[in-house]
Amino acid sequence: MATHTMWVREHNRIERKLHEINRHWNGERLYQEARRIVIAEWQHSVYNEWLPTVLGRDVMRAYGLQTADAGYWNG
């Protein structure tokens, strides 16, 4: 539950910052954009911190789970 609360608070923090920058965005747009950013943060944590610890770098390499150093993954 603590992790869920942390991500909800992060979403709300980002939504407030986006609202400061984009006053013309409606609530739905703010929600969706903040959601995308939080999902990206979560994925970054999973693929760069959690999976390497749980699976090991060799397994991640074997299954193509490592992150790219630059650019975008299109596999």
pLDDT per residue over 12-30, tens digit each? 999 999 999 999 999 999 9
CB 38 within 8 A of CB 14: yes
Helix (H, G, I), strand (E, B) or coil at 64: coil
Candidates 8, 5, 32, 6; CA nearest to 19 is: 32
Residue 68 lies in a domain: no
pLDDT of 66 reads 84
Residue 73 lies in a domain: no
Residue 69 lies in a domain: no
Read off the DSSP letter of residue 63.
T
Q: List the domain range (segments joined by +) for residue 48.
A: 2-62
Residue 74 lies in a domain: no
Mean pLDDT of 48-66: 91
Residue 16 CA, chain-centre distance (Å), reads 17
Q: How many residues does the chain have?
A: 75
Residue 7 lies in a domain: yes
| Number of domains present in the structure of the chain | 1
